[in-house]
Structure 1
Amino acid sequence: MIKKYVQAAADPRLGGRLLAWAGLADTGKDGPEAHERNASLRQEVEQLQERQQNGELDERHDAAALLLIMMSAANALAVYPQLARGLFEADATSPEVVERYAAQLAQLIQPPRDARPRGRRRELIRRKKRSFQPLCEAPLQMSLRRGCHY
Structure 2
Amino acid sequence: MPENSPRRSPRPGERRRDRERTRARILEAAKAEFGAKGYAAARVGEIADRAGVNKQLISYYFGGKEGLYNELNSPVYQGFSALAATDRPLAEVAADFVRTGLADTDLGRLFLWENLTDGAPDAVGVAAQREFLRGQVDYVRARQEAGDFPEDVDPAALMLMLMAAASASLAFPRVARAVTGRDPASPEFAEDYAEQLARVVRHLKR
Query: One fold, TM greater than 0.5?
Result: yes
Q: Shift of the alpha carbon at 1:106?
A: 1.6
| 8 A Cα contact 2:95 2:195, kept in partner | yes
Does residue 175 of structure 2 align to residue 83 of structure 1? yes
Distance 1:56 1:97 in 2: 26
Which residue matches 2:62?
none
Q: 1:66 aligns with which of 158, 161, 178?
A: 158
Q: Which stretches of structure 1, 4 residues or longer, exceed 6 Å deviation after superposition?
A: none
Does residue 121 of structure 2 align to residue 29 of structure 1? yes
Give the count of matched residue pairs. Answer: 114
Does residue 99 of structure 2 align to residue 7 of structure 1? yes
Q: Shift of the alpha carbon at 1:21?
A: 2.1
1:76-119 alpha-carbon deviations (Å, 9 max, x no partner): 11111111112222210222211221122222223545x4xxxx
The two structures have a TM-score, normalised by structure 1, of 0.64
Which residue matches 1:51?
143
Taking every aligned residue pair, what percent have the same amino acid on both sides?
32
> Cα 1:112–1:27, aligned 2, differ >3 Å: closer, same or farther?
closer
Which residue matches 2:134?
42
| 8 A Cα contact 2:114 2:125, kept in partner | no
> Cα 1:30–1:72, aligned 2, differ >3 Å: closer, same or farther?
farther
Structure 1 residue ranges without an equivalent (≥5): 116-150
Q: Give SS of 1:96's match.
A: helix
| 8 A Cα contact 1:7 1:98, kept in partner | yes
Q: 1:93 aligns with which of 178, 185, 192?
A: 185
The two structures have a TM-score, normalised by structure 2, of 0.48
Distance 1:8 1:86 in 2: 23
Q: Shift of the alpha carbon at 1:5?
A: 0.9
Which residue matches 1:105?
197
> Cα 1:58–1:30, aligned 2, differ >3 Å: closer, same or farther?
farther
More helix by share: 2
Distance 1:26 1:91 in 2: 29
Structure 2 residue ranges without an equivalent (≥5): 1-92
Q: Give SS of 1:21's match.
A: helix
Higher relative contact order (CA 8 A, sep 6+): 1
